[in-house]
């Protein structure tokens, strides 16, 4: 498979840049077409669909290496992967890969640049310098997230993707790379922030597309999934683009109760069927998704409020039966991968008991769709 270079940029005319991008897109489509027969034919080395344990940013412990889980999904913050401009440190990823390999498990790496909670920030400190459009903006929860639509911020994130891919794409234990949710988590169009480069929906969408494209190119031999949930007006175009370049669809919330993501007219759940069988699908049951009470508290936290100020009923505190999450994953979302939060412990214990039941335990994919879609990979790269 051919190796793709950067689209032409400085030093060329607009016509040259447009021609270069067109040539690159045609090459990408050709690459996807060539890769498709291999993906359909059987068992690519890095295709292990099924259930994974989500540990957030936490340490991987013995409790996360449980039977019936194929591996672990873990978040790695941008500012720890690149502590200084152009200096990368992937030692934490390397350590986790070695640990998981010893136990016959696999890693799903979530490249985390979004933070949640007052003053939380995963963006490198150097983004506060001149030329980065303010570097970060303040989200509704009080966190500071990178200004992705600024060209220099985007270039730095793409450089990180290239460096990660160069070192890790051919690691057999690295199962997938996940990009965090598309929600900007702030109403920047209506409420611009001082010192922050102006936000527009189109500019934001184009920035998301470029970040996805950079990761897809950097990891031709690894599944790539973009979590997409909001803004609703951009989801159709974003998911169409994801199909085009071979990026899978996922999200942070597999939640079998009414919610914005399940809205039949605007929610992202309605878009999963068109992606099924074309690109990989992988989403998470995170801690808030285990009960209505947890969901309501997290919604308050995301708006910058005290999560404990929310009124909940005893019924809402009752954990949702995890079979309902699985049924949603199977029937509506048609997932290949399902990432289960390890907390609350009681809910995670329920997941472990469910996966040990005979109808799921006998299936390596644990009842999920185990078929490899044709656009799961671009490789092999040279």
pTM: 0.89
| pLDDT confidence band for 127 (50 / 70 / 90) | very high
Lowest mean pLDDT segment, chosen from 128-132, 156-160, 163-167, 244-248: 128-132
Task: Report the pLDDT value the prediction gives residue 379, as an integer from 0 to 100.
Answer: 64
- The CATH fold of domain 52-361: TIM Barrel (3.20.20)
Please state the separation of Cα 195 from the chain's center in Å.
28
pLDDT category at 1 given cuts 50, 70, 90 is very low
Which sequence spans correspond to the domains of the chain?
Answer: 52-361
Whether residue 9 is predicted with pLDDT greater than 90 in this model: the reply is no
Q: Residue 151 pLDDT more than 80? A: yes
pLDDT over 50 (residue 168): yes
Residue 14 has what pLDDT?
Answer: 37
pLDDT of 53-102, one tens digit each?
A: 999 999 999 999 999 999 999 999 999 999 999 999 999 999 999 999 99
- Give rounded-to-5 percent helix, strand, coil for the chain: 40, 15, 45
CB atoms under 10 Å from CB of 382, counted, come to: 7
Q: Which two tokens stand for residue 278?
A: 């074309």
287-298: average pLDDT? 97
Query: pLDDT at position 44, please?
Result: 64
Ranking 6-10, 159-163, 214-218, 368-372 by mean pLDDT, the lowest is 6-10
How wide is the angle at C-alpha 252 spanned by C-alphas 49 and 209, nearest 5°?
90
Give start and end residues of each alpha helix (H) in the chain.
14-41, 78-81, 91-102, 151-168, 201-218, 235-245, 272-275, 292-302, 314-317, 322-327, 345-355, 358-361
CB 154 within 8 A of CB 211: yes
| pLDDT mean over 272-289 | 98
Contacts of 315 (CB under 8 A, 6+ apart): 292
Q: What is the pLDDT, as a whole number, of residue 41? A: 38
Percent with pLDDT over 90 in the chain:
86
194-251 confidence digits (pLDDT tens) = 999 999 999 999 999 999 999 999 999 999 999 999 999 999 999 999 999 999 999 9
């Amino acid at each position: 498979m051919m190796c793709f270079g950067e689209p032409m940029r400085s030093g060329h005319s607009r016509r040259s840049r447009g021609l270069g991008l067109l040539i690159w897109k045609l090459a990408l489509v050709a690459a996807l077409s060539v890769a498709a027969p291999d993906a359909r034919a059987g068992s690519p080395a890095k295709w292990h669909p099924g259930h994974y344990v989500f540990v957030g940013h936490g340490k991987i412990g013995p409790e996360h290496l449980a039977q019936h889980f194929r591996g672990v999904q873990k978040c790695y913050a941008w500012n720890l992967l690149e502590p200084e401009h152009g200096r990368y440190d992937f030692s934490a990823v390397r350590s986790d890969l070695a640990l998981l390999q010893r136990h016959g498990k696999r890693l799903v790496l979530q490249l985390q640049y979004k933070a949640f909670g007052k003053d939380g920030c995963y963006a490198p400190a150097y983004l506060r310098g001149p030329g980065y459009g303010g570097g970060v903006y303040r989200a509704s929860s009080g966190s500071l997230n990178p200004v992705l639509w600024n060209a220099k911020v985007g270039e730095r994130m793409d450089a990180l993707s290239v460096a990660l891919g160069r070192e890790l794409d051919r690691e057999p234990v690295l199962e997938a790379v996940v990009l965090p949710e598309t929600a900007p988590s702030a109403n920047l169009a209506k409420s611009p922030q001082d010192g922050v480069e102006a936000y527009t929906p189109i500019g934001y969408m184009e920035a998301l597309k470029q970040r996805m494209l950079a990761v897809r190119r950097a990891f031709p031999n690894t599944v790539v999934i973009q979590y997409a949930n909001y803004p609703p007006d951009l989801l159709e175009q974003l998911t169409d683009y994801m199909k085009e370049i071979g990026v899978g669809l996922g999200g942070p919330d597999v939640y079998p109760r009414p919610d914005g993501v399940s809205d039949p007219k605007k929610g992202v759940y309605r878009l999963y069927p068109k992606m099924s069988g074309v690109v990989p699908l992988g989403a998470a049951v995170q801690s808030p998704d285990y009960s209505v009470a947890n969901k309501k508290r997290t919604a308050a936290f995301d708006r910058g409020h005290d999560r404990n100020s929310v009124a909940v009923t005893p019924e809402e505190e009752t954990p949702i039966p995890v079979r309902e999450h699985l049924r949603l994953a199977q029937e509506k979302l048609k997932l290949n991968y399902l990432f289960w939060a390890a907390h609350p412990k009681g809910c995670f214990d329920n997941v472990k008991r469910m996966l040990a039941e005979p109808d799921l335990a006998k299936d390596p994919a644990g009842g999920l769709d185990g078929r490899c879609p044709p656009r799961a990979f671009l490789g092999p790269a040279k």
